[in-house]
Amino acid sequence: MDITARVKALLIGRFGEQVIKAEERVGLQPALVVAADHLSQLCLFLRDHEETYFDFLSSISAVDDGMESGTFTIVYHLASIPHQQQLTLKVIIPNDRRLDNLPVVPTVSGVWRTADWHEREAFDLMGIYFDGHPDLRRILLPDDWEGYPLRKDYEEAEAYHGISIK
């Protein structure tokens, strides 16, 4: 049984069928699409379970699925150094594209310290709000920057504080 199937069985056994929303088997990196409301507990379980021990979060990426889809996908790349295995988790969250109503996903910064910076980058560039993050603020752009540059509907500003940026 491959790692994705083993993890899927472990997660269903611990959290129930509702935790797995979909399974992606095509492509170079099979992935489990999981429920956002279970994300923190699920990640803690995967980190601490003796069969998985995903002790390293290598990256978090935010993907704008396009205006038509109305969703963003947050991608988590996990690795177990002792077990020499990798796993990709995805969370798909709805987005109405309003800048005053950011899409929300729970933070995993309490599970892996590296999530702190990855989540801040996704917040800064894509406008994903990580609920429970200890210091969620911009990391690359100025604090007063308007918009989120990696969104597909982002309109580049002409100037910033009177300085042309085109």
Q: How far apart are CA 45 and CA 15, in angstroms?
A: 10
Query: In the chain, where are the structural domains located?
Result: 3-164
Domain 3-164 part of CATH 3.30.460.80: yes
Nearest to 60 by CA among 139, 6, 144: 139
Q: pTM for this one?
A: 0.94
85-125 confidence digits (pLDDT tens) = 999 999 999 988 888 899 999 999 999 999 999 999 999 99
Amino acid at 142: P
Task: Give the DSSP letter of residue 98.
Answer: -
Q: How far apart are the first and last CA of the chain?
A: 53
